[in-house]
Amino acid sequence: MLFFGDPGIARPLAPRRNLRVSPRLGLAIDPFGDGKSSIRLGYGIFYDNLLPTEQVQQPANLPMFATAINFPFPRSTADPYAGRVSPFPGPSPKPANFPIPRPLSWPAMDPAFNNPYIQQWNVTVERQIFGAANILRATYQGSKGTRLPLVYTENAARYIPGSSTRANFNDRRPYWPDFGAIRLMKSIGNSTYQAAIFTLERRFSRDWSLTGSYTWSKSLDNAINSASSNSGVINNPSNWNSDRGRADSDRPHALVVSYLWDMPRLKSWHPVLRHTLGGWQNNGIVSAYSGVTFSIAAGIDQSLTANGADRADLAGNWQLAADRPKGEQILRWFNPAAFVLPREGAFGNSGRNNMRGPGSLNVDWGLFKQIPVVEGHTLQFRTEFFNLFNRANLGLPNSNLQSAQFGRITSAGSPRVIQFALKYVF
């Protein structure tokens, strides 16, 4: 395999960015001077970088980079060239004998791309209650993402009423025939996050501890892919805000409670009962979350732009009664008849992530025991139950308007899993 290309990176492809100011500000106050209460405030700016795989996408395309196979795949790695002369390094190809194929279809990066950054801020009020081991905490936190990576189809076919078909979309591309599909990454995405968090914490005291946290939040953005993914494009290439809506990670409600309990050692009991029933450690985690968001896809290129991100039109009430039996919810999580194909040349009027899937509730529980053998040697027995009550946490419903299973849930989370372990520590 031969690789040709200029190892240098032109300055327009990677402009120098030296002015990166990332302040961090923090303030802590004891409002009553008794050491039992505190008010904390914080603010910071944090810059991010793209993964190297995305930074090299543009210079790794033709005509700056070419790949040529000029020898059969070796039968053995012990002698990869099998008597042949090594082809490395190869001569640089000349335009006369190395024509560039057309059309070129490639991912590209905007020459003006700038590093994304996020602003974060928080205010926390904390108070000890009923002793030094118990803390009640209330937090407001927010963040704003700026210049996030957003991918759109730069060379999408233009819709021409009366003459656009799925067979001639290439002829309607602005840069055809030199270029086909071009997926351009620009630093124009944005996001906001607001959350109120309430926490009750009991530090380990008198053989037990407890932490409970409830989060009420809202997350919005218009960047359907993060800096670690270049797999999606926005709904309407001519409208960068067409995907403004709930973030993929938006979950309005989240409750997590965990505990740890050193059970009684039963020191006054008979040795057999003391060693059998005493000295166990019990812990558990209860977590409950709102469902994640999803969009209703048209399933076909109804906009006739070859963009492939059309959504359905909302034409009725998609909501169904929440108290229906679980079997009915699985068959129809929402009303499929409320969605129809958009008109030809349209991208669909249903918003991005305007739907929400089933929530989840999970209980994990464990039981542990340390068994002394001799000095410095311990045998640990443990049993753990994941999804203790074997609850069926349903997955997302089928959201493709063209699917025969549209609106139906066909997946679920993991069932109950029980594991036992015996560990010798020395």
d(C-alpha 260, C-alpha 142), whole Å: 31
Q: Is 12 domain-assigned?
A: no
Residue 227 has pLDDT above 80, yes or no: no
Q: Is 92 domain-assigned?
A: no
Residue 117 has pLDDT above 70, yes or no: yes
- Which pLDDT tens digit goes with each residue over 247-282? 999 999 999 999 999 988 888 888 878 777 888 999
Residue 7 has pLDDT above 50, yes or no: no
pLDDT of residue 90: 61
Q: Is 135 domain-assigned?
A: yes
Backbone φ and ψ for 162, nearest 5 degrees, come out as 90, -15
Closest by CA to 256, choosing from 291, 213, 290, is 213
pLDDT of residue 228: 39
What domain count does the chain have?
1
pLDDT of residue 375: 83
- Which pLDDT tens digit goes with each residue over 17-32? 667 889 999 999 999 9
Backbone φ and ψ for 174, nearest 5 degrees, come out as -60, -35
pLDDT of residue 82: 66
Q: Is 84 domain-assigned?
A: no
Angle made by CA atoms 302, 308, 313, in degrees to the nearest 5? 45
- Which pLDDT tens digit goes with each residue over 149-207? 888 888 999 999 999 999 999 999 999 998 898 888 888 999 999 999 999 999 998 88
Q: Is 150 domain-assigned?
A: yes
pLDDT of residue 263: 87
* Mean pLDDT taken over the chain: 86
d(C-alpha 58, C-alpha 107), whole Å: 7
Q: What whole-number percentage of the chain has pLDDT above 90?
A: 59
- Which pLDDT tens digit goes with each residue over 391-419? 999 999 999 999 999 999 999 999 999 99
* The one-letter amino acid at 123: V
Residue 8 pLDDT grade (very low, low, confident, very high; cuts 50, 70, 90): very low
Residue 59 has pLDDT above 70, yes or no: no
Contact 250, 293 (CB under 8 A): yes
Q: Is 61 domain-assigned?
A: no
Q: Which residue has the tokens 């402009």?
A: 15
Residue 16 has pLDDT above 90, yes or no: no
Residue 1 pLDDT grade (very low, low, confident, very high; cuts 50, 70, 90): very low
Q: Give the CA distances from residue 377 to residues 104, 265, 280, in Å, rounded to whole numbers and listed in that order.
A: 67, 19, 18
d(C-alpha 296, C-alpha 245), whole Å: 13
Contact 237, 192 (CB under 8 A): no
pLDDT of residue 132: 86
Angle made by CA atoms 150, 153, 158, in degrees to the nearest 5? 140
Q: Give the CA distances from residue 388 to residues 184, 289, 364, 381, 414, in Å, rounded to whole numbers and listed in that order.
A: 47, 17, 6, 19, 11
43: domain range? 27-51+105-425
Q: Are strands 104-109 and 24-29 parallel, antiparallel or unpaired?
A: unpaired
Contact 424, 379 (CB under 8 A): yes
Q: Is 333 domain-assigned?
A: yes
Q: Is 154 domain-assigned?
A: yes
Query: Up-side HSE of residue 373: CA atoms within 13 Å toward CB?
Result: 10
